[in-house]
A and B are shown apart, each in its own frame.
Chain A
Amino acid sequence: MANDVCFRTLDQDKPWTLDTYLSAGGYDEWKKVLKGEFTPEQIIAELKTSALRGRGGAGFPTGLKWSFMPRNVPGQKYIVCNSDEGEPGTCKDRDILRFNPHQLIEGMAIAGFTIGATQGYNYIRGEFWEPYKRFQAAIEDARAAGLLGKNIMGSGIDFDIEVHLGGGAYVCGEETALIESIEGKKGQPRFKPPFPASYGLYGRPTTINNTETLSSVPMILKNGGQWFLELGKPNNGGTKIFSVSGHVNKPGNFEIPMGTPFSELLEMAGGMLEGRKLKAVIPGGSSTPVLTADVAMGMNMDYDSISKAGSMLGAGSVIIMDETTCMVKTLARLSHFYYEESCGQCTPCREGTGWLSRMVHRIEHGQGNQEDLDKLLDVAGKIEGHTICALGDAAALPVKSFLKNFSDEFRYHIDHKKCMVAN
């Protein structure tokens, strides 16, 4: 059982076209909404039953998020899709945009109706030129077919979508930074509260959901919340797209039921490259704690099981490392990334990410000392929980988990001024 939700048209010829999507029952749920067959309350109830949780990384229950919107207050409200996919290891939303853009449009339209928004924006990262072109063409086809616009199919319902292209900034994946960016500003996260549901884009009530989350909605309405829930497990409903990268024979995106054993996912990805031994797994993207092979092999791919194993499902970005991987060098690259991408607004993150990056770099190059290990944890602890957005935590968590699980490698680099594994 795979590819039941966002990737359900993947095996068809030109799956991104309107004709293909329509032939697969696409836009049926949107048409039901337009005919008055669903109320916003019914849609939210189905989402709550489905246990759909945000697929962008935070895992917040989607039905609950939508219920926060004051749909009846007068004035414009917005639905915003977050296609600013940039968490290292994550490459699923790009494939939804390229191969099933109409399902995302349908999901955004249903979301707009549910929260009382007549305008949607899809924030696509600027580097995603091909996915942007695909999505833009899909919007235009949907408009031409009378599925978007004013008084759609005589329903009295208005809804339309525009794209906003990013300019290269990881932090814009944070929802309030993303809002700032649409407003034509630096992508610096806002202090919360107020939350976007009360003060969002242009100061109006706004709901922001990830691409995969919104693309899941039409299938939940088509088959029912219970159907989706039972694809996965209680509290971990549905399928999830896992992006598997690193040392495997067949890296790729796999849309599989929540709760699938990690070992099965590893098999789907062709097993370990050149038959080498598994050493470490980052299960949810670079911001989630790294796990040792033994722990990873015992976990299932769902929120609760990965959390029990000591990490997070995050965006479902599974990074596989084999026995030849130097964990010091790997952490050095990740710490450099957070240093590069810190927006500079909060001092602990702006300064701390530089400290982390420089210290790990010097340990990697044989210039570290034993005190650095304590100092790394100290700096990480001083960033964590002391910043406006989660980028600070995301920089701290890898440091803590790499040191916890692979401290011998860090000590070896310090004591022997060379790497324990490479060469």
Chain B
Amino acid sequence: MSKGNIDLLTAESRVEIDTWVAKYPDDQKQSAVMAALRIVQDQNGGWLTEELMDAIATYLDMPAIAVYEVATFYSMYEHKPVGKNKLGVCTNISCQLRGSEKLVSHMEKKLGISMGEVTEDGKFSLKEVECLGACAGAPMMQVGTDYHENLTVERIDAILDELK
């Protein structure tokens, strides 16, 4: 099918992808594509390239286009470089009612970037996210995989100052 270079996938990534392939019926390897994209994205510092998507396609016996479709449909897959620390700030209704707008402008000012951008030192990227299902802890943001709830300007400063 595809002619991707599977050597681009590290041994660790392949082992991890295999554990996801095993969760589905033998003839349904494609079900593991979402996990594979996440694993390979993490391997590559948080974003995907066409070569990596092609490698996944070959590894899972899928047409490359089917991998691109999935990789561009879901919001957690990135297609350009991101910061070492991905900051996903929720601005949806419950967070907006509890002041997420102020937090966003504070962060943009503090980091010197706008939503969707990466700091020059590559340390942080800022992204507006839709409701992350922590509305009772609004306003909230996600840093990497961690949720931070009941945010204030002071708490955000403390969180950002701690991140390397």
Contact = CB atoms under 8 A, between A and B. Distances in A.
A89 interface: yes
A94 B129 CA distance: 17
Contacts of B66: 184-185
Interface string A324-339: 0100011001100100
A18 interface: no
A330 B131 contact: no
Contact of B97 (A168, A182, A246): A246
B60 to A, nearest CB: 8
A182 B24 CA distance: 9
B75 A168 contact: yes
Interface in B130-164: 130-138, 142, 145-147
A340 B115 CA distance: 15
Given A182-B31, A330-B93, A162 B133 contact: no
A6 B27 CA distance: 36
B138 A170 contact: no
A168 B74 contact: yes
A186 B88 CA distance: 22
A397 to B, nearest CB: 14
Interface string B57-74: 000101000100110011
Given A167-B75, A167-B76, A251 B34 contact: no
The main secondary structure of chain B at its interface with chain A is mixed
Contacts of B37: 167
Interface in A67-93: 76, 85-91, 93
A38 to B, nearest CB: 28
Interface residues of B, number: 45
B113 interface: no
B74 A245 contact: no
A183 interface: yes
A244 B97 CA distance: 12
B28 A340 contact: no
Given A251-B135, A333-B91, A187 B74 contact: yes
Contacts of B25: 76, 202
B122 to A, nearest CB: 23
Interface of A: 76, 85-91, 93-94, 125-130, 162-170, 181-187, 202, 243-247, 251-253, 282, 286, 317, 319-321, 325, 329-330, 333-334, 337, 340-341, 343
20 contacts: A88-B92, A88-B135, A91-B136, A91-B137, A163-B23, A164-B23, A165-B35, A165-B38, A168-B77, A182-B31, A183-B31, A184-B31, A185-B70, A187-B73, A202-B25, A243-B135, A245-B135, A245-B138, A252-B136, A330-B93
Closest CB pairs A-B (n = 5): A167-B74, A168-B75, A184-B30, A129-B145, A245-B135
